[in-house]
Amino acid sequence: MNKRKIVTFAIIFIIAVFALLIILSFLPDREPASGTEGGPPQPRGGQRQATTVRITPVVSDTIERSVIINGEILARNQVTIFPTMGGRLVEIFYGIGDRVNRGDVVAMVDPSRPGEVYSQSPVVSTVSGTVLLAPFSIGDTVTSQSGIYVVGDLSSLLVETHIPERFVATVRQGQRATLWLEALPGEVFTAEVFELNPVLDPISRTMRVRLRFTRPDPRVRAGMFATISLVTSRRVNVPVIPRMSVINTYDSWIVFVADEDNIARRREVTLGLDNEEFMEVLSGLEIGERVVSAGQNFLSDGDLVRVVD
């Protein structure tokens, strides 16, 4: 074999090797057979595992909606005492906390002017009660519009608050309210609405409301600050479910119900009154059905669920 034939053969061999490598690079990888060496067996059917959820039965209960507002404890009969004429306040006979009776002289005003002398004018209390406020001192100049004293009946206290305009239509006499006082932490008091101002304040757009305690407590004093939860709506013996169990999707409300086989069933529901914890069910559920109250966001209709306490 001459040298030229050897070179030609070598070139053909190299081309054949490269061609074989190129063909092998395009062949698909071969997967290991199920159950054979080279990989674990693959599951068939794609069945999903059970989703862990909590359930709450639909029950018949009372549901209330409330508005939280602030208020102040006041003496129920609270009157400001005015002098009959202006002048210099020369005598004060009572101080804050003193008890006065109707007709008592509580102060004296000297109406004299330079070069003129007049008899002192008495300031007479028009009500019986306790002195709550005495803003003036001896020597002050007062007018017939100056409130010398504020006298109130501390034996009967009320709670005064102001309701925002958007809740005015839902407030009526006799409505119940729950109160918490800063001065008595941990204590809960009850009251009811007994007075509604027929006219709203044009500046604050609120309506003045007064409440009375259903059970007077001697520890409660005028001037205390109160937090008030006023019940604006109430429904009795209606189906209720936890608020957290409801999902809002495409302008509709849905829940998932666990049937006897622990299969999740999607339900569209119509809701009524609601508060911070519960919602009233108008349609879509029956009393006793088991509503998924935790884990429902991971469910689809027909999923298997595992119920935990």
Domains and CATH numbers, the chain: 51-63+236-307 (2.40.420.20), 67-75+155-235 (2.40.30.170), 79-152 (2.40.50.100)
> Of 214, 144, 203, 129, whose CA–CA distance to 178 is shortest?
214
The reported pLDDT for the residue numbered 32 is: 45
Helices (H), strands (E): how many in the chain? 1, 21
- Which two three-digit tokens encode residue 48? 């999903």
By CB atoms closer than 10 A (0-12, 13-18, 19+), residue 53 is buried
Q: What percent of the chain has a predicted confidence (pLDDT) above 90?
A: 58
The reported pLDDT for the residue numbered 40 is: 41
- Which two three-digit tokens encode residue 116? 């003129």
Q: C-alpha distances in angstroms, 131 versus 72, 80, 106, 136, 143?
A: 18, 10, 10, 13, 20
Lowest mean per-residue pLDDT among 11-15, 19-23, 118-122: 19-23
d(Cα 245, Cα 267) in Å, to the nearest integer?
A: 12
The reported pLDDT for the residue numbered 246 is: 94
pLDDT class of 39 with cuts at 50, 70, 90: very low
Per-residue model confidence as pLDDT tens digits over 42-95: 444 445 688 899 999 999 999 988 889 999 998 878 899 999 999 999 999 999
Per-residue model confidence as pLDDT tens digits over 237-279: 999 999 999 999 888 899 999 999 999 999 999 999 988 899 9
Higher-pLDDT residue of 189 and 5 is 189
Per-residue model confidence as pLDDT tens digits over 164-174: 998 898 899 99
d(Cα 293, Cα 273) in Å, to the nearest integer?
A: 18
